Structure 1
């Protein structure tokens, strides 16, 4: 499933442009800019399933690193620092990965 079937392609493009520079990624602003924050829990789950590239039921650190590329091939990889900060913000149970409930809570913060 393509993310632009859930989110507006222009919103995705603007958000990726806003965070094109290294060390500029802010997950809260990004989710708001792409319109995900305003989406239903069902739509957030659909996005989670796309981001969970290996279908493990979790978004792991390696998947977080390329999260922007999942929104668009023009997206950049997150730096190690950004990836760790993103993981830390979402991983409430400390298992080193993000489950669907953690992701939904993070998006709707």
Structure 2
């Protein structure tokens, strides 16, 4: 499964392009622009599983750093600061990673 199975290619391109500059990433705005906020919980979980590259059941810090690349190969890597901010926003139980329920909550809160 790819992101374009869940989200529109044009929305992905626009959302990733909006945060092309370093230290500009805002997850709330990104999830809105990419169309994820309007999707069902099942679709949000599909996106989670695409981003969970190692299939561990969690999105760890190294996977978060590449979150934009998870949506499109043209995406940039997040800076360390952006990665830590995203992790802090999503990691509700403090275990240093984002589980599927934490991810759906993060998207819903956006």
- Superposed pair shares fold, TM > 0.5: yes
1:59 CA displacement: 0.2
Q: Match for residue 7 of structure 2?
A: 7
Measured in 1, the distance between the counterparts of 2:8 and 2:71 equals 11
Q: Match for residue 51 of structure 2?
A: 51
Aligned length, in residue pairs: 109
Measured in 1, the distance between the counterparts of 2:47 and 2:70 equals 10
Measured in 2, the distance between the counterparts of 1:83 and 1:60 equals 10
Q: Give TM-score, length-normalised by structure 2.
A: 0.98
The Cα RMSD (Å) is 0.4
1:83 CA displacement: 0.1
Q: Match for residue 71 of structure 1?
A: 71
Measured in 2, the distance between the counterparts of 1:97 and 1:72 equals 22
Which runs of no fewer than 5 residues in structure 2 stay unpaired? none
Q: Match for residue 107 of structure 1?
A: 107
Q: Give TM-score, length-normalised by structure 1.
A: 0.99
**SS across alignment from 1:98:** strand
Which runs of no fewer than 5 residues in structure 1 stay unpaired? none
